[in-house]
Amino acid sequence: MKPNKSLFTLLFILVSGFVFAQIPALERIEPANWWVGMKNPKLQLIVHGNQIAKRQVKLTYPGVVLKEIHKVENPNYLFLDLEISPSAQAGTFPIQFVLKGAKTQTFQYELKNRDSKALKAQGVSTKDFIYLIMPDRFANGDKNNDVIKGMNETTLNRDSMYHRHGGDIQGIINKLDYLQDLGVTALWINPLLTNDQPKTSYHGYANTENYKIDPRYGTNELYKQLVDELHKRGMKMVKDLVHNHVGSKHWTVLDLPFKDWLNQWTKFTRTTYREQTQFDPYAANADKDQMVKGWFDFHMPDPNQKNPFVRNYITQSHIWWVEYAGVDAFRLDTYAYNDLEYMAEWAKAIKTEYPNLNSFGETWVHGVPSQSYFTEGRVVNQAIDTGLDGVTDFQALWSINEALNGKFGWTDGVVRLYNTFSYDYQYKDPTKNVVFLDNHDLNRFYSVVNEDFTKYKSGIAWLFTARGIPQWYYGNEILMTGTTTPDGLVRLDFKGGWPEDKVNKFTAEGRTEKENEAFNYVRKLANYRKKSEALQSGKLMQFVPQDDSYVYFRYTDKQTIMVVMNGSEKEQTVKTDRFTERTAGFKTAVNVASDEVLSDISQVKVPAKTTLILELKN
C-alpha cells in the first residue's frame, strides 16, 4: 500500500490534541464477557463512553471485587481492575456508571462457565500439516456479506487485486472435505478480525477491532462453528495474531485513551526492519527504538507495548478467543518488531491458562543466529527468554530455494540445506519450527522454480520429510503461480471457490492433467506422513552432501526413511555404502511416492533435480 501522508498527519493531530470522538454515553466494554475458573484471577476492563470518567462505578457480585478504577488522560475512558475469586459462580450482573443529574448507564456483564469438555488449545506439532488460507481469495460461501454498508471499503471487484473479492468463513467450511482429503490437519487463516480500513482491507493485518470477526467474513458465531467443524474432523485451528500494529481506524486510535497508547514520533517514522538491533551488543539505543517503536506503515500505528494497559488489552483479547472459539495455536505476525519483554510476559500468560497451546512467530530474517534469538530457552545467551515455541523457518526456506535453483559448491546448492540444519543446536527444540515453501508475502513456489515440475515435486518431498511442522499455501497443490510485484499476484482466487466460476479446481474434473498430478502428489505424501512415525516424530540424521547429492534419514526404532536429493541437472547413481549407520540391516525399499519396490539399495538411481523418499525394508 502506498503511504498516506495526509492520513498520518491527521492521526498525529488527533492523538496529540485529543480531539474526542462523538460517542454514546456508554459505547462499549471489552472484553464484554469473561469466564470463572481461569488460572489468572485478574481481569482489566476497558470502558469507552462519552465523558465516562466523570461517573462513579458501582459493581456488586459475589466473588467479584472491583480492585481499582483507573482514570486516564482521555475522559472517554475508564480501566477497571477486577479480581474474580475461584469461588465465583457464572452469572450476569450490572456494572453501573452513575452521574448526578444524568441517566445511569448500565452494562450487563456476564461471567460464563468454562467448557471443560470442549476441544481447545491443543497446539500444533510435527504430526500436523498446516494449510494457510487468505480467506478473501479462497471461497465465497455467502454472497450476502460481500458488501457491508457503512464500512469504509465497500468495493467488491474480483478483477482488481487490491479490492475485496468476497471469500469468507462459510466458503472455508464448505471446502473442509477437500482439505481433509488433501491430508491437511490444521488451518492457519490470515487475520479474520474486523479490518475497517479504507483500502486493501482484504489482507486483514490492520485490524480495527480485537473482539469482532469482520462482517464480510461472517460472525463470531460462524468462526466458532468453523473451529468446531475442524475439531469434529480431528483438525485444528491456528489463529493469526498481530501484536505489533493495528489499523489507523482502530477504535482506540480514533479516540486514544492517552497519548502513549501508541509509540509517537514528531514526524512519521517507519521501523528500520533491522532485527539485529534487538540483540546487537553494540547497538545504539536510537536504532533499537526505531526498530521496535517505528511504525510498520503509515496506516499501521504501533501500539506502545511498554504501556501496561496496552499489554492487558492485547493479551486478554487473545485469551478470549481461545476460550470462546476453541483456538488451538497461534501464528504471531511480525514477531521481531515487538517489545521482547512484553512477548515473554505474553507467552507466560498464555501458557498459564493453556499449557499445550503453542505459538510460532514470523521471523523474516536472514541467518540462523538472527532467527534463533527470538525463540525460547536462552540457548544462545539471549537477554530475554521470550517463551516463543518456534518460528516460521525462513532459513530453511532460503536453503531449499538454493538447493533447487543453485549450483553445487562448498556452501551452495544442496549444501545450503545441510549447513542450515547443522545449526539446529541453537534452538531449544528445532522441531517446533514451521517449514514452508512460500506464503502470502512471498513468490509462489511454482514460480520460484520457474514452473519446473520436477523441482516442484522435489521441494514438496523435502517439505514433508524435513524436521519441523510443514505449512502449505492455498492453491499450490493446483500449481498456482505469481510473484510479489505487486503482492496481490500471489493472492489470486482459488478457481471454483465462487459460484460464477467457469472452472472448479476443487474437483478432479476441473483440473488439468498436470494440476491433478500435482494435487495427487501432495495428497499422497501428506496422507502418508499422517501415518508415518518416522516423519512425524523420528530423529534426523544427515550426511555431508557429495557430488550434488544430499542424503538424510528420518528414523525411529520401528521405521527408517531415507531421503535422497539430487541437486544436479543429470541423473545420478548414489552408492549407499557410506550410510551404513542407518542402512545396516535393510536390503530393499519402497518409493513412497510411486509405491515402486527397490530390490537392491546398495545403490540408488536418482533422476535429475529429483528427491526420492524411500521407506527401507528388511
Tell me the one-letter amino acid at 167: G
| CB-based contacts of 343, cutoff 8 Å, min separation 6 | 243, 335, 386, 387, 388
**Which of 214, 333, 339, 493 is flagged as catalytic?**
333
CA-nearest of 292, 302, 389 to 347 is 389
Give the rounded percent of residues in the chain with a pLDDT score beyond 90: 96
Cell output for 466: 524435513
Torsion angle defined by CA atoms of residues 371, 372, 373 and 375, in that order, rounded to the nearest 10 degrees: 110
Q: Which pLDDT score is estimated for 13?
A: 43
Residue 14 has pLDDT above 60, yes or no: no
Q: How high is the pLDDT of residue 12?
A: 44
pLDDT the model gives residue 22: 80
Cell of 377: 530457552
Is 168 noted as a catalytic residue in this protein?
A: no
Q: Strand pairing partners for 59?
A: 95
Q: What is the mean pLDDT of residues 26-43?
A: 98
Q: Which of 591, 615, 590, 465 is closest to 540 using CA atoms?
A: 465
- CATH number for the region 538-617 comes to 2.60.40.1180
pLDDT given at position 181: 98
Q: Any residues with CB less than 8 A from the CB of 503 and at least 6 apart, and which?
A: 495, 496, 510
Task: Reply yes or no on whether 209 is catalytic.
Answer: no
Catalytic residue among 323, 362, 376, 548: 362
Residues in the chain: 618
* Residue with the three cell numbers 485451528: 237
* Interval 300-307 mean pLDDT: 98
C-alpha to C-alpha distance for 194 and 212, rounded to whole angstroms: 6
Contacts of 498 (CB under 8 A, 6+ apart): 139, 140, 158, 165, 166
CA torsion angle 521 522 528 532 (round to 10): 130
| Segment 241-267 mean pLDDT | 97
Domain limits, CATH 2.60.40.1180, in the chain: 538-617
Tally of CA atoms within 13 A in the half-sphere of 462 that contains its CB: 30
Q: Are strands 549-555 and 539-546 parallel, antiparallel or unpaired?
A: antiparallel
Architecture of the domain made up of 5-112: Sandwich (2.60)
- Res 8: pLDDT: 44
For the segment 527-562, what is each residue's pLDDT rounded down to a tens digit? 999 999 999 999 999 999 999 999 999 999 999 999
Q: What is the CA radius of gyration of the chain?
A: 26
C-alpha 227/C-alpha 325 separation (Å) is 7
Mean of pLDDT over the chain: 96
Q: Is the pLDDT of residue 7 over 90?
A: no
Crossing angle, helix 220-232 and helix 308-325, to 10 degrees? 50
Query: Residues 552, 540: contact at Cβ < 8 Å?
Result: yes
- Measured between alpha carbons, how far is 83 from 483 in angstroms, rounded to an integer? 51
On the question of pLDDT at 5 being above 60, the answer is no
Percentage of residues of the chain with pLDDT beyond 70 = 97
Predicted pLDDT of residue 17:
41
Angle between helices 308-325 and 340-353 (to 10 degrees): 30
Q: Are 600 and 574 in contact (CB under 8 A)?
A: no
Q: Where in the chain is the domain with CATH 2.60.40.10?
A: 5-112
pLDDT at 9 over 50: no
Q: Please tell me the pTM assigned to this model.
A: 0.96
455 in the Ramachandran plot: left (φ > 0), alpha (ψ -120 to 50) or beta?
Answer: alpha
Q: CA-CA distance, 559 to 582, in Å (whole number)?
A: 11
What's the DSSP call for residue 52?
A: G
CA distances from 378 to 279, 371, 389 (A): 12, 13, 12
Contact predicate 460/437, CB 8 Å: yes
Place of cell 506502545: 304
Q: What is the pLDDT of residues 114-173, one digit of tens each?
A: 998 889 999 999 999 999 999 999 999 999 999 999 999 999 999 999 999 999 999 999
The CATH topology of domain 130-531 is TIM Barrel (3.20.20)
CATH 3.20.20.80 positions along the chain are 130-531
Q: What is the DSSP string of 455-468?
A: HHHHHHHHHTTSSS
CA angle 287, 289, 291 (to 5 degrees): 70
118 forms bridges with which residues in the sheet? none
